[in-house]
Amino acid sequence: MSFLNNLNDYMKKYPNKQPDIQQQYGTAGFRNKADTLYHVTYRTGILAALRSRLTDSIIGVMITASHNPEEDNGLKIIEPDGSMLIQSWENLATKIANVSDDNLEQCIADMIKELNINMKDTMAKVYLARDTRMSGVSLSMALIDGIKTCYGEYKDFGLLTTPQLHYIVRCANSNGQYGEPSEQGYYKKLSNAFLRLTENSTKKLNVIVDCANGVGANKMILMEQYLTEKITFDLVNIGDGILNHGCGADFVKVNQRQPDSIELKSNQHYASFDGDADRIVFYYLNDQDNKFHLLDGDKIAVLVAKFLKQLLNAANLNEIEIMVVQTAYANGNSTKYIQDTLQLISDCVPTGVKHLHHRALQSEIGIYFEANGHGTILFSSNVQKRIAECTNENAKKLLHFIDLVNQTVGDAISDMLVVEAILDILNITIDEWDSFYQDLPNKLLKVAVKDRNVITTTDAERKCVEPKGLQSAIDKVVAEFGPQARSFIRPSGTEDVVRIYAEAQTKELADNLARKVGNLVYDFADGIGSKF
């Protein structure tokens, strides 16, 4: 076909060697063992170029498996506005990734025809970047070959955090209106906003940052240069150990303890990124009980909501609506605090930032965070205009705040600066922030099963539909654990496991509840290995 360049030759380079492995564009794109992903990456290059032609805009592709282990890798496709790939194209991505080599050409031709893609007079431009995984370099080559198959152009940014690529794609497509489309532009915009926002306080700040041995380490070194007059960072897990191993946001959240390499000291703020720096959680040593305390995505959402509510009031803009979007993993007490104490609306959507982002867009200000530390804040263009028209000092602060937020996707670096700026402006300590509400004790577990797709859910994943009888069995168990007990299960979109969440009045109850529900999953869905 004339609109495809050397497809047959390229296909020989990237054959689908393991057609029995179903590749799925899941919670955050493709994710699997890196060595199964070469043909998927090549085909994603084709798909991204087609999406670029259809939208006549630049599309991004990030090569990363985020919080997963080093041997995994993955692909996240980025829309022209910097958000995640639209849902209707997720199915196309899954389709093109799994079609047999013999049918690939026909599959592409059908897609072009059905979507009426103009292959002549449109641009096919793809920006790509990768995290620090070894496999990222060769996967980049496969992606580039896919782009070339569609006569596309590409710009390879090498190593970037996932949110940096999202940011750059948005900037490039908005002709610079959102910012300068470069890594330097990102550092300059965020650091300038942070320094302006905190200029009335003389306090010097410091954070110990666990970079999960990932791409965030090097990027923090570059960012710090712009910020040293106000904030410094002590970086740990900067690539001297194994990626996401015994460290990183996911490890800290799931195990509810600091990374192995960190010894907690009083009066310090600690933060952990994940492997591609799109998630962050905070923690500290509480002097009163001498214990580790975690401040996860829920605590960040609450801090931001409280701050923005106060600032809008002070700027005489209290008619602007704020909504907080969470998932079923949100701690019950965080939702209570948002609704009862802050008197704000909240909503619950399925896991995956794409769902939260979509819901948050429906509000004037949408604050969304997953409990795992993945989230951001969205300001409608109308609200940004209204704030810009106000001349008072508080409205100016709001504008700096907006500039500090990476509105395209959750961003560990941006979110860290947001939190530090708020604590500085409100002049509160980390334990004062922590005491806004007490987390209900909770436990996360995972169970490996023969086929996790036998589990289906509804009601924003809070109820299990299939296998039949499992939900009523869960309900019965939950009822044994007191009025505050809650538990749900869902198949992961990034790992081959079923996740179990439980919360209850005490840690012991939460742990036991999670184990009991885990055993039910094991029984109903053909568990692998031993029970809890």
Rounded CA separation 97/79 (Å): 19
What residues from 498 to 517 belong to the interface with ligand G16 (CB under 6 A)? 499
The active-site residue, picked from 66, 346, 363, 487, is 66
The residue written with tokens 């380490």 in the block is: 217
27 binds ligand G16 (CB under 6 A): yes
Q: Which amino acid is at 136?
A: G
Check if the beta carbon of residue 278 is closer than 8 Å to that of residue 66: yes
Q: Report in angstroms how near the CB of residue 394 gets to ligand G16 at its nearest.
A: 32
What is the C-alpha radius of gyration for the chain, rounded to an integer number of angstroms? Answer: 23
461 binds ligand G16 (CB under 6 A): no
Rounded CA separation 231/229 (Å): 6
Q: Which is nearer to ligand G16, 99 or 353 (CB)?
A: 353
Check if the beta carbon of residue 235 is closer than 8 Å to that of residue 213: no
Q: Which is nearer to ligand G16, 4 or 353 (CB)?
A: 353
Q: Considering CB under 6 A, how many residues would be counted as binding ligand G16?
A: 18
Interaction mask 264-303, ligand G16, x per CB under 6 A: ----------x---xx------------------------
486 binds ligand G16 (CB under 6 A): no
Q: Name the phi and psi angles at 232, rounded to 5.
A: -125, 160
The CA-CA-CA angle for residues 187, 188, 191, to 5°, reads 80
495 binds ligand G16 (CB under 6 A): yes
Please identify, among the stretches 121-129, 185-193, 437-445, 489-497, the one whose residues bind ligand G16 according to the rule CB under 6 A: 489-497
467: cis peptide before it, omega within 30°? yes
Beta bridge partners of 233: 207
Interaction mask 38-77, ligand G16, x per CB under 6 A: ----------------------------xx----------
66 as an active site residue: the answer is yes
Q: Which is nearer to ligand G16, 7 or 254 (CB)?
A: 254
Check if the beta carbon of residue 216 is closer than 8 Å to that of residue 277: yes
What residues from 337 to 396 belong to the interface with ligand G16 (CB under 6 A)? 351-353, 370, 372, 374
Rounded CA separation 214/67 (Å): 9
Check if the beta carbon of residue 227 is closer than 8 Å to that of residue 195: yes
Q: List helix spans (H) across 150-215.
A: 162-173, 183-197
Q: Report in angstroms how near the CB of residue 194 gets to ligand G16 at its nearest.
A: 23
493 binds ligand G16 (CB under 6 A): yes
462 binds ligand G16 (CB under 6 A): no
83: left (phi over 0), alpha (psi -120 to 50) or beta: beta
Q: Report in angstroms how near the CB of residue 334 gets to ligand G16 at its nearest.
A: 16
Choose which of 4, 28, 197, 215 interacts with ligand G16 (CB under 6 A).
Answer: 28
Give the 3-state secondary structure of 272-297. Answer: EECCCCCCEEEEEEECCCCEEEEECH
Interaction mask 222-251, ligand G16, x per CB under 6 A: ------------------------------
487 binds ligand G16 (CB under 6 A): no
Check if the beta carbon of residue 29 is closer than 8 Å to that of residue 75: yes
Q: Which amino acid is at 398?
A: L
Q: Which is nearer to ligand G16, 329 or 337 (CB)?
A: 329
* Residues labelled as active-site residues: 66
Q: Write out the residues near ligand G16 by the rule CB under 6 A.
A: 27-28, 66-67, 274, 278-279, 351-353, 370, 372, 374, 492-495, 499
